């Protein structure tokens, strides 16, 4: 018979007593999560994300190894050359 973890749901990553699950997007906290995606070719990756509905927020300079975008819902993410 399986026993529950000693700390209950907290060990499963679920909210414990007094904690509320967040909602996304939350206007009070607009950037709750940010993702960086490693890519070999920034120009090629940019073409792909733009074709999927992303918009450029900051395309940086040629020397910089990352560019900032927003997904169609407005959440920011970066493409990072590795």
Return the domain boundaries, the chain.
34-82
H helix or E strand, kind and range, residue 33 = none
Q: 56 and 67 in contact (C-beta within 8 Å)?
A: yes
The whole-angstrom separation of Cα 69 and Cα 49 is 9
Half-sphere exposure of 19 (CA within 13 A, CB side): 9
Confidence of residue 39 (pLDDT cuts 50, 70, 90): very high
| Preceding peptide of 25 cis, ω within 30° | yes
For the chain, percent of residues with pLDDT exceeding 90: 46
pLDDT of residue 61 exceeding 70: yes
pTM above 0.75, yes or no: no
What is the domain class of 34-82 according to CATH?
Answer: alpha beta
Place of tokens 């999927």: 52
Quote the tokens at residue 76: 């920011």
């Amino acid at each position: 018979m399986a026993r529950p973890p000693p700390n209950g749901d907290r060990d499963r990553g679920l909210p414990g007593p007094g904690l509320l699950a967040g909602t996304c997007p939350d206007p009070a906290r607009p950037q709750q999560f940010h993702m960086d995606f490693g890519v070999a070719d920034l120009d090629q990756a940019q073409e792909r994300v733009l074709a999927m509905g992303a918009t450029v927020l900051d395309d940086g300079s040629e020397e910089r190894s990352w560019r900032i975008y927003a997904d169609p819902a407005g959440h920011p993410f970066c493409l990072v050359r590795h």
